[in-house]
Amino acid sequence: MNEPAIDVHGLRKSFNGRVVVDDFAIRVERGLIYGFLGPNGSGKTTTIRMLCGLLKPDAGEGTCLGYDVRRQALEIKRHVGYMTQRFSLYEDLSIAENLDFIARVYGVPDRSKAVKLALERLGLEGRRTQLAGQLSGGWKQRLALAACLLHSPQLLLLDEPTAGVDPKARREFWDQIHDLAAEGLTVLVSTHYMDEAERCHQLAYIAYGNLLAQGTAQEVIRAAHLTTWSVSGSEIAQLGRELKGRPGVDTVVPFGTQLHVSGGEEAALDSAIAPYRQDAGLHSTRIEAGLEDVFISLMNQARDYYQ
């Protein structure tokens, strides 16, 4: 199918007079893992719920899996798997019982076979009788993903699926996501982790309801036109306080024993850094801006509705 999995523009949503998503547009081709990033309260969850038919936009139009996001919400729900931020299955039911219940809700044919395949695919067969409430965060994550896949969706919408999960479980989860994408499934996933963002085929960054950047990781970095210096040495904390607010310095971010000092105007930033480059106790190196540098810069530029 040549049509994109998601193609929307002009989406707008407000609650009690406060605009949460404003003039949002995104196009996601099929088979991609699309990273959706932004600070808490930026409108990511609201956007995801509009895309999967749970919320009707106040304005805007477009399609999800070829279905109109304003008029065909029921059809969208039948073909989308949505994994919420919080674990939403029944904690007093076993893994297998939860999956059987979800299969009933979706009217999955040959339910027992579908549940068995889901258990095997996500490595849950050995725990099928364990109560969901007794699972660790990583195993709850696997169960939630298995439930999303039961009805063979064409699109997965994952809302911060790895929050609170240990690094090993996060890596295993992303290996599974890449396997699914290789089979043709489209995935839109919101995350705060930069290592996860770098594993996505494309990215979109949203802040306070507005889309600020999109493209591949390298495209987003290049488009930011951000100059970054890495500074290490003694009294880094004091140096950070001195640099903040200097002309040309947009952000000062500690990275272990180093500071990443970034600015949008190269000459102005170089001028701000110059006095410290003569300090024998400091080591300054011009580096390529990373995704985290770019996203912190974007977040600092965004307008908070409450400010």
Domains of the chain plus CATH, in order, are 6-220 (3.40.50.300), 227-288 (3.30.70.330)
Beta bridge partner(s), residue 286: 229
Whole-model pTM? 0.88
pLDDT at 257: 86
pLDDT at 303: 61
Which residues have C-beta within 8 Å of that of residue 231, sequence separation ≥ 6? 239, 258, 259, 261, 273, 276, 282, 283, 284, 285
Tens of each residue's pLDDT in the chain, 307 residues: 578 999 999 999 999 989 999 999 999 999 999 999 988 888 899 999 999 999 999 999 999 999 999 999 999 999 999 998 888 899 999 999 999 999 999 999 999 999 999 999 999 999 999 999 999 988 999 999 999 999 999 999 999 998 878 888 899 999 999 999 999 999 999 988 888 999 999 999 988 888 889 999 999 999 999 999 999 988 888 889 999 889 999 999 898 889 999 999 999 999 999 988 888 888 999 999 999 899 888 887 766 544 4
Q: How far is residue 46 from each of residues 23, 58, 125, 128, 236, measured CA to CA in Å?
A: 13, 12, 34, 33, 39
pLDDT at 307: 43
Asked if 154 and 175 touch (Cβ cutoff 8 Å), the reply is no
**Edge-to-edge strand list for the sheet holding 155-159:** 80-83, 155-159, 186-190, 33-37, 202-207, 210-215
Q: What is the DSSP string of 150-177?
A: TT--SEEEEESTTTT--HHHHHHHHHHH
Would you give the DSSP letter of residue 94? B
Tokens of 280: 């024998």
